[in-house]
Amino acid sequence: MFSLFDCPNPILFGHGNSALIGEKLTELGCKKVLVVYDMGIKAAGIADKVLGFIRAADIEVVLFDKVEADPPDYLVNEAGALGVSENVDGIVGIGGGSSLDTAKGARLLLSNPAPINQYFAFRNVPGEMDGIIDKNLLKPLIVIPTTAGTGSEATPGGIITDTKKNEKFPIHCLVSLAIIDPELTTGLPSGVTAATGFDALCHSVEALTSIKPNRLSEVLAKESIMLIAKYLPIACRDGSNIEAREAMALAATLGGIALRGPGGGIPHDIGKFIGIKYHVPHGTAGGCLLAETMKFIAPCVPDKVRIVAESMGAEVCADASPEMIGEILCETIRKLYWDVNMPPMNSFVNDKAELVDNAASLFKGKSQTPRPLTSEAVAEILANSYDNN
């Protein structure tokens, strides 16, 4: 019933500390590292900044700058192969969840045979390192997130897309150190800030309303939700506002830690399908379902939904009915969509009926949720999200 709490990744959080990466790699014994990132991070000048810090510590770098969203298995294999052929003794991931997860996958392949697909893990076996030969052989990995959303820096896992099956699978991979430097996120465009911010919000809300309650996660999730409701609109309007960026970076990391035990709910489960099918960012795909999901589960977990609503600053009177609490939170989240210009579903889904039919048959009974997920319920959540967000 209760879920486990832990945070095995060591996290170093604070302004300007990406400059410490050279020192930290040296402490870990690294002399030549594979650096994994994407072209966006390169274009934003963030990669060069961090590479400068690494080189300043006399550490050689091997670059892999081809990361793609929803990291495909073949790129993970390619990054791993590059690291092996260059005989690196460590790895650095810089970027959003895709870069961090690609780096995690590549880390496994530095000391285990390719391809990555044989290390896909499955839900409900936390801690199991499927197929990994020897955890002690894993080479050091430092991750530096440049978005405030995925929480990948805070979790010992990653999500890789199996391109043959067109499906996402988890891998298990700790990081040696996560360096979170809010300064690196000041250049994020507003749209990315909003999408990744909603990803973090989903993590925290899903953690708090999970069917596997966790009093420690709740503490982190509540703070995370409060920070996001207050600071996400500011970070979207004024990307250079460092107070808002710091708050969002903290909120995302708290959300990542909080979610680990309780596990995701409806927005992440159905959102994963929407993200792949309609090629929208993970945070947009899940985020667009959050408001209606809360209305749906409120009758079963009104106290938890009240905590979410109040953490977001909504006023909920003491004698509000469960349905009323759900309505209030749904509208509060919807207002946040508008405040941060989240793209409505009709901007990326052409055929509403097709989506509703597909999802209803795919997800009936599939999501871990406090209220049984019938196909009618899936259809209603999707139709209302499409019509009203």
**Interface with its own copies includes 215 (CB under 8 A)?**
yes
Estimate to the nearest angstrom the gap between the alpha carbon of 3 and the chain centroid. Answer: 19
**Interface with its own copies includes 278 (CB under 8 A)?**
no
As to burial, measured by CB atoms within 10 angstroms (0-12 exposed, 13-18 middle, 19+ buried), residue 99 is buried
Closest approach, Cβ 342 to its own copies, in A, equals 26
Measured from the CB atom, the residue of 89 and 223 that comes closer to its own copies is 223
Using CB under 8 A, which of the segments 110-118, 217-225, 277-285, 295-303 binds its own copies? 217-225
Closest approach, Cβ 213 to its own copies, in A, equals 7
For residue 151, give Cα distances in angstroms to 89, 143, 194, 283, 378.
25, 11, 15, 12, 26
Assess contact for 71 and 105: CB atoms under 8 A.
Answer: yes
For 345, residues 6+ apart whose C-beta sits below 8 A from its C-beta are 288, 385, 386, 389
Closest CA to 260 of 170, 126, 108, 71: 126
Distance CA 176, CA 330 (A): 39
Using CB under 8 A, pick the residue from 210, 214, 293, 368 that binds its own copies: 214
Using CB under 8 A, pick the residue from 153, 223, 269, 292 that binds its own copies: 223
Distance CA 244, CA 374 (A): 39
Token pair 């839900």 is found at 123
Assess contact for 65 and 47: CB atoms under 8 A.
Answer: yes
Measured from the CB atom, the residue of 181 and 199 that comes closer to its own copies is 181
Using CB under 8 A, pick the residue from 62, 213, 280, 346 that binds its own copies: 213
**Interface with its own copies includes 10 (CB under 8 A)?**
yes
Measured from the CB atom, the residue of 7 and 57 that comes closer to its own copies is 7
Q: Which of residues 316-375 bind its own copies (CB under 8 A)?
A: none
Using CB under 8 A, pick the residue from 25, 201, 248, 254 that binds its own copies: 254
Assess contact for 263 and 3: CB atoms under 8 A.
Answer: yes
**Interface with its own copies includes 74 (CB under 8 A)?**
no
The footprint of its own copies on this chain (CB under 8 A) covers a number of residues equal to: 27
Q: Which of residues 110-149 bind its own copies (CB under 8 A)?
A: 136
**Interface with its own copies includes 85 (CB under 8 A)?**
no
Instruction: Enumerate binding residues for its own copies (CB under 8 A).
Output: 1-2, 4-14, 17, 136, 213-216, 219-220, 223, 246, 250, 253-254, 257
